[in-house]
Amino acid sequence: MKFKAAIPHFRFRSVAAFIAAFGAMLTLLTPLANADESNRRVLVRDITSIEGVRDNLLVGYGLVVGLRGTGDTQQTIFTVQTLANAMQKMGVLITPSTVVVKNVAAVFLTASLPPFSRPGSKLDVTVSSVGDARSLEGGVLLMSGLHGPDGQVYAEAQGPLVLGGYSAGGGANRKEVNAANVGLIPQGAMVERDTSVDLSGFKTVSLLLRNPDFTTATEIASVVNQDFGKTVASALDSSRVDINVADASAKSVSALISRVQNLMLQVHTPAKIIINERTGTIVMGGDVKLSPVSVIHGSLSIQVVTNYEVAGDSVNSIGADKNGKGGQTNIQPVVIPQTDVSATDDAAQTMRLDEGANVEELVKGLHAIGTTAHDVVAILQAIRAEGGMQADLEVQ
């Protein structure tokens, strides 16, 4: 699809008038060009992370008490055993087999430990029911430890739960909104172990790209070297850029990271199309280019309908002799199926894309010939197989 724009003609009294008008036109177009270029420019902090500076996952197990009869039932054995162990620590001995409570629920705890967390820092804790509790509304979590991958306790959690849903009623008259078995304790965990990273020991700062790309990694190294005025960074591969701390001559590693993360560069996004056939969702990048291709799309619909008609009556004699005498006569209607077959073959719709066509022209063309989302999936796969699409096609 090609569009031809009409070019207006102007007459100028002098060369000076022409230069003035041309300069004014450039002044108007420059902000648009800069805006388009700035849309592709991002900060280094937005596309990279620092190796060794990351979150750590924590998990724990505990009891939520104070529920209004919506806790675990007696069939959830581990809840009663956990309660008995907690009571024993308090100096109260009970027999788990004789305990019947409905105000207690066993839960798993999850949290994320940020880098540079120190003792006394607060964390948000997510609480999820383990047993068959109907709701955690109004519950309070008893003090529970949050463990890291190494099995050590890094934080202690305790406090009342905040739920984003509720469950009311019973049986067939129950109403539930959102999830009543998952809650949150804002700032409900306190860090007990120092996990901060010592940046002073870093001899090399490694930037890890969130979307690996050789061009972007090389561009990051080039921007860093240009800012420092010498070679301090090098791209090792598509996902890693190393910066030598000693060569950078920065006051500290923190200052070096801050300076690098605030640098801007132009990102080169790969041409890619993502298709989800289950939902019919298609996401196409603006850099996808198409070769000259013609698409013919038609629709053939075949419908088979069966109707049943009553043609007459049939006579059956029950209990009669061989001469048809005696017995009982039943009259039943005769039903004959009538099958109608109809076929509709719509006229094929044709669309042609010229050299260098982009995603916008493709979408407009497919929409013009009346294709659905699932039709577009099949057409894109066919164009990719024909070699008319210069992009990666990912089907989920």
Tell me if 28 is assigned to some domain. Answer: no
Domain count, the chain: 3
The answer on 350 and 295 residing in a single domain is: yes
Per the model's pLDDT, the better-predicted residue between 341 and 66 turns out to be: 66
- What's the CA gap between 113 and 126, in Å, rounded? 13
Q: At what angle do helices 214-228 and 253-261 cross, to 10 degrees?
A: 120
The answer on 253 and 355 residing in a single domain is: no
Q: What are the backbone angles phi and psi of residue 99, rounded to the nearest 5°?
A: -90, 125
Per-residue pLDDT, averaged over 224-247, amounts to 93
Lowest mean pLDDT among 99-108, 318-327, 328-337, 371-380: 318-327
The answer on 61 and 181 residing in a single domain is: yes
Q: Give residue-wise pLDDT tens across range 131-165.
A: 888 889 889 999 999 999 999 999 999 999 998 76
Per-residue pLDDT, averaged over 275-296, amounts to 71
- pLDDT band at 34, cuts 50/70/90? very low
- What's the CA gap between 131 and 108, in Å, rounded? 10
- What's the CA gap between 82 and 76, in Å, rounded? 11
Task: Tell me how far the alpha carbon of residue 84 is from its chain's centroid.
Answer: 42
What integer pLDDT is reported at residue 33 of this predicted model?
43
What integer pLDDT is reported at residue 322 of this predicted model?
57
Domain that holds residue 335: 274-317+328-395
Residue 277 has pLDDT above 80, yes or no: no
Closest CA to 211 of 136, 155, 256, 270: 270
The answer on 279 and 379 residing in a single domain is: yes
What integer pLDDT is reported at residue 228 of this predicted model?
92
Residue 324 has pLDDT above 60, yes or no: no
The answer on 153 and 77 residing in a single domain is: yes
Tell me if 49 is assigned to some domain. Answer: no
Tell me if 24 is assigned to some domain. Answer: no
Looking at the DSSP bridge assignments, the partners of residue 336 are: 309
Residue 19 has pLDDT above 70, yes or no: no
Per the model's pLDDT, the better-predicted residue between 201 and 43 turns out to be: 43
The answer on 112 and 183 residing in a single domain is: yes
- What's the CA gap between 127 and 163, in Å, rounded? 10
Tell me if 5 is assigned to some domain. Answer: no
Per-residue pLDDT, averaged over 17-42, amounts to 49
Residue 384 has pLDDT above 60, yes or no: yes
- pLDDT band at 388, cuts 50/70/90? confident
The answer on 346 and 244 residing in a single domain is: no
Per the model's pLDDT, the better-predicted residue between 222 and 274 turns out to be: 222
- pLDDT band at 280, cuts 50/70/90? low
The answer on 308 and 205 residing in a single domain is: no
- What's the CA gap between 112 and 166, in Å, rounded? 26
Q: Give residue-wise pLDDT tens across range 57-83.
A: 999 999 999 998 888 887 788 888 888
Tell me if 347 is assigned to some domain. Answer: yes
User: What is the signed CA dihedral for 186, 140, 134, 129, rounded to 10 degrees?
Assistant: 60
The answer on 311 and 281 residing in a single domain is: yes
Lowest mean pLDDT among 99-113, 117-131, 134-148, 285-299: 285-299
Closest CA to 206 of 267, 262, 256: 256
DSSP-assigned letter for residue 280:
T
Residue 4 has pLDDT above 60, yes or no: no
Tell me if 42 is assigned to some domain. Answer: no
Average pLDDT value for the chain? 77
DSSP-assigned letter for residue 6:
P
The answer on 287 and 390 residing in a single domain is: yes
Tell me if 43 is assigned to some domain. Answer: no
The answer on 337 and 365 residing in a single domain is: yes
The answer on 346 and 231 residing in a single domain is: no
CA distances for 74 relative to 135, 174, 181, angstroms = 16, 22, 18
Per the model's pLDDT, the better-predicted residue between 305 and 198 turns out to be: 198
- pLDDT band at 392, cuts 50/70/90? confident
Per-residue pLDDT, averaged over 269-278, amounts to 75
